Amino acid sequence: MAKEARIPKKRAGYIEVDEFKDSNLTKGYFCKACVYFVNVQGGKCAIVKSQGEDCNGKFSRVIAPHGYCSLWAPNRTIVK
């Protein structure tokens, strides 16, 4: 997917909560367990822009494994 076609974090309902960093990210609606998450490229999403402000006003340049958004779809190789 082209970089320009990705949607902003706020529009996707993306939230990054630091308290979830040490959680089991394979159990729940976290980016790490999402089919669109691409960790090989350093925390990116196939449909949400990496750089920007989330719904809580936090700015970052990556999609965090402990983040989540309204477009989440399960990665069946991780979520069992």
pLDDT at 1 over 70: no
- Number of domains the chain contains: 1
In a domain, 79, yes or no: no
Question: What domain range is 38 assigned to?
Answer: 3-68
In a domain, 80, yes or no: no
CB atoms < 10 A from the CB of 61, how many?
A: 10
d(CA 70, CA 68): 7
d(CA 15, CA 22): 16
In a domain, 75, yes or no: no
Q: Which of 7-11, 21-25, 74-78 has the highest mean pLDDT?
A: 7-11
Per residue in 21-69, pLDDT tens? 999 988 889 999 999 998 777 789 999 999 999 999 999 999 999 999 9
Q: Which residues are 68's β-sheet partners?
A: 15
- Token pair listed for 72: 């989440």
In a domain, 76, yes or no: no
Q: pTM for the full model? A: 0.85
Query: 39 near 45, Cβ under 8 Å?
Result: no
